[in-house]
């Protein structure tokens, strides 16, 4: 019984991890049809920002929840103005450009922080379920992911901002004809997407050893989660995170983590063969 | 002031000529001995490679300051392989054909070593591989000065099983090093009347260990031993501590500390981890203290000195000792010197080349992480490379050229 609870919590954690790390990519892909291959590096910069702030004596919570998203958001804004906006509608070119950007960011971070792993201790202590010790910080990650999804949904569903965003998503020309500048909307979308990646990097920093090259391990999982989820930001991310997180962890528990990852990737291939437009291309078509 | 292109090129070439003067100087007393090296000074593996490159520089400079070898200066020829296997083959060819070096010290991962080993063997260019690895290479042209699993695993299993008990849970990186090391761990556990609860392998990019940590708790082993490798696997130690397990089940490792992992973990997370290896900065040996003082004089920061940087330094010093003993750089003379049981005292202790396997007998220290330092608990002197010695006898079969898969 205790073991069952442990497995369940690990599944929840994996779902939260996937949702959190893919949210930024999903927002940008869903709204702008831009695949940002520097997404993993945004997450990585969020982590480094958190650790740099923490070392400078800033409160860890403030650093990960406020400073990291802000810094990466501004980074995203700059990149959008300098690079991305010239490449709208050219998906392959954007992928190439953002991939180049990712290399640049890795190089810069290496230059500043060096190439050895840095980390910060988890600020929440462990707790017990029966005879099992569990990381308390994992619960915080689950809470942040849940909160993030709820806030995203509320904004998209009930605010004027969300309405405009959804409008631009469905048809940018109509949105433009109604007086909303699509360029401006895209600029803020990219910034928000980057900020979400920064948030993910910040809150995940205490759970991993951070290296400048760590971005590549985030982008792979985020990429398949977003593509399998399809264009709808919230439903898409949630449905694919749910599916992949559950499959990955159940298989990991039954055999070992490597097989868990293989199962997840195999499932992604099968899903994309059956639903090339992603899960939300087939089901929940009118969701946000 | 305006400078024409011609003037500029003129002054540039005179600067270049000026900087070549020391080389011309050494030519006067005989051509320099060329010491080639191929190491990852950038890219993913530079955490290992950079200190190794520095160790190479230090060793060569020290030998030169002491008058060189055979009355000739050493000339280092260093290529940065950028953590790219393709560059290893390319630069190995270049060292052999173009630079015509007298010896090569280099290679970090086992994959990189196997990519270049045959090039040097075919060209009869002596090759020193100075990194701990999975064991089994049997080739008269190569000298291995790093430790192999049989050297480090048995001492740590001795201490761990005596301290903690007989049920072992093994975690290892999923490639030849981890797979083979895991076999040795199981072997030594069973030899001591212990049992293996479970063995889990992890691809190098796995960074979530939640399910594994839960499974470990279900098995309730006496202790966990890890042969995890690289940046992503660092996460295991953090998640282990975050779940509070570091207070409940003790942890030992054959790899921890090689990439300076103990500096990345806070004392609360890292304290108590048991490790085994050839080198600790905390060693109070005079040779080590002296070495760290020289390093800090040359590069300021000694923080990044790790086991394989020391291993590289010891490899070059060992080679220099062979040259002195041989009195020439001729292949036959050098091989005779190498197989004479030559020995040096380095920062990690005494290093002796075993004539049968061309591997090194090393002092292995069992250490405990304490306050981000590797405190030495006990030392096993002159531990021989038993794993490779099971299969490899270069005295009997000098023509042997393969890597044996150690099977226990």
Q: Give the residue ranges of DSSP H helices in B69-175.
A: 85-93, 110-122, 149-164
DSSP, res B31: P
Q: Which residue of B has its CA nearest to A115?
A: B47
Least reliable range by pLDDT among A274-278, B68-72, B317-321, B374-378: A274-278
A14, A133, A256: residue with CB nearest B245: A133
User: Is B242 close to A126, i.e. CB distance below 8 A?
Assistant: yes
The span from the CA of A161 to the CA of B138, in Å, is: 69
B212, B238, B241: residue with CB nearest A208: B238
Give A206's contacts in chain B (Cβ within 8 Å).
238, 242
The span from the CA of B313 to the CA of B294, in Å, is: 12
User: Is B214 close to A14, i.e. CB distance below 8 A?
Assistant: no
User: Is B239 close to A207, i.e. CB distance below 8 A?
Assistant: yes
- CB–CB of B129/B250 below 8 Å? no
Residue A222 resides in a domain: no
Tell me the average pLDDT across A162-167.
87
Q: Which residue of A has its CA nearest to B233?
A: A209
Out of 3.20.20.140, 3.10.580.10, 3.40.250.10, 3.40.50.2300, select the CATH number for domain B150-277: 3.40.50.2300
State which fold the B30-147+283-362+383-403 domain adopts. Answer: Rossmann fold (3.40.50)
CA distance A32 to chain B (A): 30
All residues at 6 or more sequence positions from A229 whose CB lies less than 8 Å from its CB, including other chains = A22, A26, A235, A236, A237, A238, A239, A240, A241, A278, A279, A280
Q: Does A201 touch chain B (CB under 8 A)?
A: no
Number of H helices, E strands in chain A: 13, 2
CA distance B204 to chain A (A): 10
- CB–CB of B372/B270 below 8 Å? yes
pLDDT for position A63: 95
User: Is B234 close to A122, i.e. CB distance below 8 A?
Assistant: no
Largest CA distance in chain B: 83
Model confidence at B24, in pLDDT bands (50, 70, 90)?
Answer: very low
In this predicted structure, the answer to whether residue B43 has a pLDDT above a threshold of 90 is no
In this prediction the ipTM stands at 0.81
Phi, psi of B118 (to 5 degrees): -65, -35
* CATH 3.40.50.2300 residue window(s) in chain B: 30-147+283-362+383-403, 150-277
A116, A126, A208: residue with CB nearest B260: A116
- CB–CB of A53/A67 below 8 Å? yes
pLDDT in tens, B184-222: 999 999 999 999 999 999 988 788 898 999 999 999 999
pLDDT for position B47: 81
CA angle, corner B23, sides to B21 and B29, nearest 5?
A: 115
Domain count, chain A: 1
B215, B217, B237: residue with CB nearest A133: B217
Closest CA to A109 of A200, A42, A157: A42
- Where is B137: in which H helix or E strand? strand B137-139
User: Is B214 close to A121, i.e. CB distance below 8 A?
Assistant: no
Model confidence at B5, in pLDDT bands (50, 70, 90)?
Answer: low
Q: How far apart are the first and last CA of chain B?
A: 75
In this predicted structure, the answer to whether residue B40 has a pLDDT above a threshold of 50 is yes
Residue B283, judged by CB atoms within 10 A of its CB (0-12, 13-18, 19+), counts as: buried
Q: Does A183 touch chain B (CB under 8 A)?
A: no
Give B200's contacts in chain A (Cβ within 8 Å).
256-257
Distances (CA, A) of B151 to B121, B146, B160, B312: 26, 10, 15, 18
The span from the CA of B342 to the CA of B406, in Å, is: 26
Residues 247-276 of A with CB under 8 A from B: 249, 252-253, 256-258, 260-261
Q: Which domain holds residue A27?
A: 2-213
The span from the CA of A152 to the CA of A81, in Å, is: 24
Dihedral sign from CA coordinates of B115, B118, B119, B120: positive
In this predicted structure, the answer to whether residue A52 has a pLDDT above a threshold of 80 is yes
The span from the CA of A86 to the CA of B309, in Å, is: 47
Q: Does A122 touch chain B (CB under 8 A)?
A: yes
- CB–CB of A198/A69 below 8 Å? yes
Q: Which three-class secondary structure state does DSSP give residue A25?
A: helix
Neighbours of B54 (CB within 10 A): 20
Q: Mutate which of B54, B231, B239 to disrupt the A interface (most A C-beta within 10 Å)?
A: B231
Give B244's contacts in chain A (Cβ within 8 Å).
125-126, 133, 135
Q: Which residue of B has its CA nearest to A117?
A: B264
Residue A15 resides in a domain: yes
User: Is B234 close to A209, i.e. CB distance below 8 A?
Assistant: yes
Least reliable range by pLDDT among A235-239, A256-260, B111-115: A256-260
The span from the CA of B358 to the CA of B356, in Å, is: 6
Tell me the average pLDDT across B335-364.
96
Q: Does A134 touch chain B (CB under 8 A)?
A: yes
pLDDT for position B22: 45
User: Is A211 close to B241, i.e. CB distance below 8 A?
Assistant: no
The span from the CA of A85 to the CA of B48, in Å, is: 40
Model confidence at A220, in pLDDT bands (50, 70, 90)?
Answer: confident
pLDDT for position A167: 86
User: Is B210 close to A7, i.e. CB distance below 8 A?
Assistant: no
The span from the CA of A238 to the CA of B273, in Å, is: 39
Give B268's contacts in chain A (Cβ within 8 Å).
121
Q: What mean pLDDT value characterizes chain A?
A: 90
pLDDT in tens, B52-107: 999 999 999 999 999 999 999 999 999 999 888 999 999 999 999 999 999 999 99
Residue A180 in tokens: 């909303």
Give A213's contacts in chain B (Cβ within 8 Å).
44, 231
Q: Mutate which of B83, B175, B211 to disrupt the A interface (most A C-beta within 10 Å)?
A: B211
Distances (CA, A) of A278 to A172, A218, A226, A228, B2: 21, 20, 8, 4, 64
Residue A281 resides in a domain: no
Distances (CA, A) of A101 to A54, A68, A71, A97, A230: 26, 19, 17, 6, 25
């Amino acid at each position: 019984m205790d073991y069952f609870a442990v497995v369940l919590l690990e599944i929840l954690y994996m779902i939260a991890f996937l949702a959190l790390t893919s949210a930024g990519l999903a927002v940008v892909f869903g709204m702008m049809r831009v695949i940002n291959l520097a997404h993993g590096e945004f997450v990585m910069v969020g982590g480094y920002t958190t650790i740099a702030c923490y070392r400078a004596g800033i409160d860890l919570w403030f650093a990960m929840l406020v400073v990291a998203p802000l810094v990466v958001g501004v980074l995203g804004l700059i990149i959008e103005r300098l690079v991305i906006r010239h490449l709208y509608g050219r998906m392959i070119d954007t992928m190439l450009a953002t991939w180049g950007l990712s290399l640049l960011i890795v190089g810069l971070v290496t230059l500043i922080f060096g190439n050895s792993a840095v980390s910060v201790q988890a600020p929440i202590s462990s707790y017990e379920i029966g005879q099992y010790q569990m990381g308390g910080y994992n619960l915080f990650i689950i809470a942040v992911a849940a909160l993030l999804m709820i806030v995203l949904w509320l904004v998209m569903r009930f605010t004027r901002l969300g309405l405009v965003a959804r409008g631009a998503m469905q048809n940018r020309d109509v949105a433009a004809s109604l007086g909303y500048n699509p360029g401006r909307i895209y600029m803020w979308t990219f910034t928000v997407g980057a900020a979400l990646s920064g948030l993910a990097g910040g809150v995940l920093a205490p759970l991993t050893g951070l290296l400048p090259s760590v971005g590549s391990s985030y982008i792979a999982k985020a990429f398949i989660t977003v593509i399998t989820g399809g264009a709808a930001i919230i439903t898409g991310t949630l449905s694919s995170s749910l599916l992949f997180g559950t499959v990955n962890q159940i298989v990991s528990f039954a055999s070992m983590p490597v097989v868990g990852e293989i199962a997840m990737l195999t499932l992604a291939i099968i899903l994309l063969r059956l639903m090339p437009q992603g899960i939300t291309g087939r089901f929940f078509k009118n969701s946000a | 002031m305006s400078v024409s292109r011609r003037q500029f090129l003129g002054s540039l070439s005179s600067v270049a000529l000026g900087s070549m003067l020391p080389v011309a100087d050494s030519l006067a007393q005989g051509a320099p001995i060329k010491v080639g090296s191929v190491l990852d000074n950038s890219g993913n593996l530079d955490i290992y490679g950079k200190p190794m490159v520095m160790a190479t520089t230090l060793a060569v400079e020290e030998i030169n300051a002491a008058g060189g070898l055979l009355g000739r200066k050493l000339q280092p020829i260093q290529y940065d392989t950028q953590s790219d296997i393709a560059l290893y083959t390319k630069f190995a060819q270049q060292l052999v054909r173009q630079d015509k070096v007298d010896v090569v010290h280099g290679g970090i991962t086992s994959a990189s070593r196997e990519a270049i080993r045959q090039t040097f063997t075919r060209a009869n260019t002596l090759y020193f591989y100075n990194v701990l690895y999975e064991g089994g290479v049997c080739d008269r042209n190569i000298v291995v000065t790093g430790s192999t699993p049989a050297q480090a695993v048995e001492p740590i299993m001795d201490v761990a099983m005596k301290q903690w008990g007989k049920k072992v849970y093994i975690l290892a990186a999923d490639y030849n090093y981890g797979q083979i090391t895991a076999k040795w761990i199981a072997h030594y556990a069973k030899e001591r009347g212990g049992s293996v609860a479970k063995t889990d392998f992890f691809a190098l990019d796995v960074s979530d260990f939640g399910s594994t940590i839960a499974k470990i708790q279900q098995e309730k082993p006496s202790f966990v031993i890890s042969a995890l490798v690289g940046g992503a696997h660092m996460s295991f130690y953090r998640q282990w501590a975050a779940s509070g397990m570091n207070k409940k089940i003790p942890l030992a490792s054959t790899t921890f500390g090689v990439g300076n992992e103990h500096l990345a973990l806070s004392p609360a997370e890292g304290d108590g981890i048991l490790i085994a290896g050839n080198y600790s900065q905390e060693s109070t040996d005079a040779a080590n203290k002296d070495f760290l003082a020289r390093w800090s004089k040359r590069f300021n920061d000694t923080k990044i000195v790790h086991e394989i940087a020391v291993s590289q330094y010891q490899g070059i010093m060992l080679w220099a000792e062979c040259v002195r003993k041989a009195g020439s750089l001729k292949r036959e003379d050098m091989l005779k010197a190498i197989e004479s049981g030559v020995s040096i005292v380095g920062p990690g202790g005494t290093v002796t080349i075993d004539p049968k396997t061309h591997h090194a007998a090393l002092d292995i220290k069992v250490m405990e992480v304490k306050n981000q330092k590797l405190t030495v608990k006990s030392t096993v002197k002159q531990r021989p490379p038993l794993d490779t010695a099971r299969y490899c006898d270069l005295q009997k079969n000098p023509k042997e050229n393969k890597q044996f898969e150690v099977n226990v």
